[in-house]
């Protein structure tokens, strides 16, 4: 699935003050995600990392990253220790908050961001598991997402 949603176009109906602030924040978050992604993938490329696989698992109202593996080709490598600047939207602020973080922290931040943008609540109830894959050669972040659920089937037979 390719995410093609466009939250940057102006809504048609008049909005309340809160809705306008929420719209502005969502728009800024989308712009910052693109910038943060480019910054992170560039830093990984410069360090010779071609791929990072972040495995996550969540259920019962808690979830976490289980494993992070940096790779060059198919070989595991140590995550680069360099720091990069990422930015995050702050409610009712036109300017983002900028932070210098390690590449490992940036990977984790963007992985959680991808989960929150696509499957908010992935850690609830039966939960979900999967991988967030950062591919520097393709310049992509791919979410491989598996959602758990409990099913029930009922059969009634009267003869």
DSSP 8-state secondary structure symbol assigned to residue 95: S
| Whether pTM exceeds 0.95 | no
In the predicted structure, residue 40 carries a pLDDT above the cut 80: yes
User: pLDDT by residue (tens digit) across 83-120?
Assistant: 999 999 998 888 999 999 999 999 999 999 999 999 98
CB environment 111-136: b (16+ within 10 A), e (fewer)? bbbbbebeeeebbeeebbbbbbbbbb
pLDDT bin (cut points 50, 70, 90) of residue 5 is low
The pLDDT of residue 94: 87
Q: Which of 48, 43, 34 is nearest to 114 (CA)?
A: 34
Instruction: Give per-residue pLDDT as tens, 53-67.
Output: 999 999 998 899 999
Residue 2 pLDDT greater than 60, yes or no: no
Distance, CA of 36 to CA of 110 (rounded, Å): 8
């Amino acid at each position: 699935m390719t995410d093609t949603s466009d939250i940057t176009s102006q809504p048609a109906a008049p909005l309340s003050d809160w809705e306008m602030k929420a719209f502005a924040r969502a728009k800024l978050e989308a712009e910052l995600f693109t910038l943060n992604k480019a910054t992170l993938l560039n830093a990984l490329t410069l360090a010779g990392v071609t791929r990072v696989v972040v495995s996550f698992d969540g259920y019962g109202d808690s979830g976490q990253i289980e494993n992070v593996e940096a790779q060059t080709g198919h070989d595991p490598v140590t995550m680069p220790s360099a720091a990069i600047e990422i930015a995050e939207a702050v409610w009712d602020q036109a300017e983002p908050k900028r932070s210098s973080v390690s590449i490992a922290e940036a990977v984790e931040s963007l992985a959680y961001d991808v989960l929150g943008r696509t499957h908010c609540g992935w850690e609830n109830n039966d939960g979900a598991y999967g991988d967030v894959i950062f591919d520097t050669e393709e310049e992509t972040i791919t979410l491989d997402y598996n959602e758990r659920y409990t099913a029930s089937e009922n059969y009634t037979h009267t003869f």
